[in-house]
Structure 1
Amino acid sequence: MSTAHVRALLDHVAAELPRELWPHWTEGWPHEIEAGLLDAAFSARATYGTPTTGVRAVITRWRDHRAAPLDDLTALAAHADEPEGLLAVLNNRQRVPGNYTTKAEAVASAARSLAELGCTTSADLRDDEAQRNAIVGVPGFGAATWECLAMQLGIRTAESHRLVCEFLGEALDLEAPPSTADAEHLVASAAVRLEITPATFTHAVWRHQRAQRRVASAR
């Protein structure tokens, strides 16, 4: 891929997800599995908000309550049987898609399911069937919840890679998405130009494509 391709990609990024307006120019929640799980749950069918509203406000409340690094799912799992305490801390009673439970209850259940598999920290998370099923099996959660959790922790799944490649293909008006090697080159080059990490670029683009998918499916 040439310098012209990188310039075209940057122009597309500026038009579609300008850094001053798009709230997802971050790496997600690396090394913070609790924050990643809360994000995956509370960002579903909800406005992401600012650092003091929406999803990030929920995470901030939990961070203030924990007063510790958010990388131990046993803290959330402890609320699985009696979620009222977690609901009070998070101060958010949004319900999961399907209206099965509150998002807080679903988070606690998912945390316990992962912990029972031996996955309690970000270092334990991997894209395998057992861990994926632990998330997808929670009523109101699904494949999108798992994909979001994995992305927040820096785990690239086949689906997240496909979404990023779709964005790159659209940006460059390619007949087919770029190869893995070309995609990595484009992401790395764009990140250098924007003075951010490739992980930040990938996360922002992935969030954008995910949002576009939701808009398209709602039509």
Structure 2
Amino acid sequence: MSTAHVRDLIDYIAAELPRDAWPHWTEGWPREIEAGLLDAAFSARATYGTPASGVRAVIGRWRAHRGVPLDDLGALSEYADDPAELIAVLGNRQRVPGNYTTKAEAVALAARSLVAAGCRRSSELRDDDVLRSALVQIAGFGSATWECFVVQLGLHTPESRCLLQDFVIDAVAPEVEVTNAMAEELLAAAAVRFDVTAATLSHAIWRYQRAQRRLTGAR
């Protein structure tokens, strides 16, 4: 890692996702598994919005209903048999990709499935086949939903690490070989320069990379 590479990365970040224009300079929803699941569901094919609109408004309504912290999926799973009530609480009738059901119902069903698989709180979340299957078996949810869910809680999948690595590769000279470890070091150094946590910077970049892939149709 060189100072020049860090500088290149900082300049690229400032140009591509400036802090005054990119809404994702946050750590996600650490230690709030309910918020992470709501975010993963309601950000699919939707405008993320401001704190008073879009995904964050949905989470805000749930927070007002529940209080804090939002770290017990059991609270969402209670609506699995009566999703209409959850729709009313969240104030959102959007449907999942494929139009199978509402996002609210899918969230409630996923919460019940995850609890049954042994994951109720953020401290119990892990990126493994059992929990991944518990979520992606819900109609309208898939691998992208799972990735978004776990990243919000501070876990990174192989897919999300690749997105971060690709971003660093784009930022530095093309002839530089950027390993995953080097990417992490450069991102950590850049986070210090931006006076944010490494988790905050990684989350902002990961959201940016996902948005870029949607624009290009890549997966």
Q: Normalising by the residue count of structure 1, what TM-score does the alignment of the two structures yield?
A: 0.97
| 2-structure distance, mates of 1:168, 1:177 | 10
Provide the secondary structure at the position in 1 that maps to 2:217.
Answer: helix
Tell me by how many angstroms 1:118 deviates: 1.4
| 2-structure distance, mates of 1:89, 1:148 | 23
Q: Which runs of 5+ in 2 are unaligned?
A: none
Note the 1:93-104 alignment, pairs <5 A.
93-104=93-104
Tell me by how many angstroms 1:176 deviates: 6.9
Note the 1:63-102 alignment, pairs <5 A.
63-102=63-102
Provide the secondary structure at the position in 1 that maps to 2:211.
Answer: helix
Aligned equivalent of 1:14: 14
| 1-structure distance, mates of 2:202, 2:132 | 21
Contact 1:166 1:177 in 2 (8 A): no
Contact 1:83 1:104 in 2 (8 A): yes
Q: CA RMSD in A?
A: 1.1
Q: Does 1:132 align with 2:123?
A: no
Superposed structure 1 runs of 4+ greater than 2 Å apart? 173-177
| 2-structure distance, mates of 1:74, 1:127 | 20
Aligned equivalent of 1:119: 119
Q: Which runs of 5+ in 1 are unaligned?
A: none
| 2-structure distance, mates of 1:107, 1:202 | 25
Contact 1:31 1:71 in 2 (8 A): yes
Q: Does 1:168 align with 2:168?
A: yes
Percentage of identical aligned residues: 65
How many residue pairs align between the two structures? Answer: 218
Aligned equivalent of 1:205: 205
Contact 1:106 1:138 in 2 (8 A): yes
| 1-structure distance, mates of 2:21, 2:11 | 15
Provide the secondary structure at the position in 2 that maps to 1:127.
Answer: coil
Give CA-to-partner distance per residue, 1:121-177, whole Å, 9 cap, x none: 000000000100111111111100000001000001100000000000001133476
| 2-structure distance, mates of 1:91, 1:2 | 49
What amino acid maps onto 2:53 in structure 1? Answer: T
| 1-structure distance, mates of 2:67, 2:73 | 14
Aligned equivalent of 2:146: 146
Aligned equivalent of 2:184: 184
Report the CA distance shift for 1:99/1:36 in structure 2 as closer, same or farther (over 3 A): same
Report the CA distance shift for 1:88/1:7 in structure 2 as closer, same or farther (over 3 A): same
| 2-structure distance, mates of 1:134, 1:177 | 37
| 2-structure distance, mates of 1:209, 1:175 | 21
What amino acid maps onto 2:27 in structure 1? Answer: E
Give CA-to-partner distance per residue, 1:68-96, whole Å, 9 cap, x none: 31000000000001111100000000000
Q: Normalising by the residue count of structure 2, what TM-score does the alignment of the two structures yield?
A: 0.97
Report the CA distance shift for 1:84/1:137 in structure 2 as closer, same or farther (over 3 A): same
| 2-structure distance, mates of 1:177, 1:138 | 39
Report the CA distance shift for 1:2/1:39 in structure 2 as closer, same or farther (over 3 A): same
